[in-house]
Homo-oligomer: A and B are copies of this chain.
């Protein structure tokens, strides 16, 4: 078996995030032995997805329409902009039903290790939006990691350089709701102490 379609399939699966050569082989074998119909179905769904799903040209969200349903909705508060790293983060916030503003997806965070520079992020679109739209508040909903916070600083600088009047905030850091103190890392406990709130 030098270069069969099976080998190509394993190769392509193994390039997906979270999968390696072994898990890719297990998946490909499973599909071949437990029902080829599922392979045809998956092939069709992949095509449909590639054809029909669009990245919103305004915010970077994923939807079947461009601009996306959130940007197009008259119910959303277009003066509040939430900046997130990835589309998954957007969905996580939408699941809470607690935010009524609009979004801007950066497409990642700055990272020295992964070689992500400001040019790789969706920042020029952000600057255009700040010029064109009447945005009053920006919420930086970036991960509480080194890369996330570096990105938050960078974006804050970028915005303040030209738009001093815009309020910028970041998500609160502290104990996760339902989290046990004993199991928290030292950094979180320190932050939760420093940011304690009067009751």
Copies in the complex: 2
* 20 CB < 8 A contacts A-B: A1-B63, A4-B49, A4-B63, A4-B64, A5-B48, A5-B52, A5-B53, A8-B49, A12-B41, A18-B19, A18-B26, A29-B62, A32-B53, A32-B55, A33-B55, A33-B62, A33-B107, A39-B46, A39-B49, A42-B46
Distance in Å: Cβ of A116 to nearest Cβ of chain B: 13
Check: A196 CB closer than 8 A to any chain B CB.
no
**Taking chain A's interface residues, is the majority helix, strand, or loop, or is none over half, making it mixed?**
helix
- Known contacts A5-B45, A53-B5, A63-B1; is A17 also within 8 Å of B33 by CB? no
- Please provide the 8 A-B residue pairs with the shortest distance between their CB atoms, ordered closest to farther: A5-B48, A43-B46, A43-B43, A5-B49, A39-B50, A36-B50, A39-B46, A16-B27
A16 vs B28: C-alpha distance in the bound complex, in angstroms?
9
A27 contacts across to B, CB distance below 8 A? 16-19
Q: Are the C-beta atoms of A46 and B46 separated by less than 8 Å?
A: yes
A36 contacts across to B, CB distance below 8 A? 50
A71 vs B166: C-alpha distance in the bound complex, in angstroms?
73
Within 8 A of B (CB), among A1-57: 1, 4-6, 8-9, 12-13, 15-19, 23, 25-33, 36, 38-53, 55
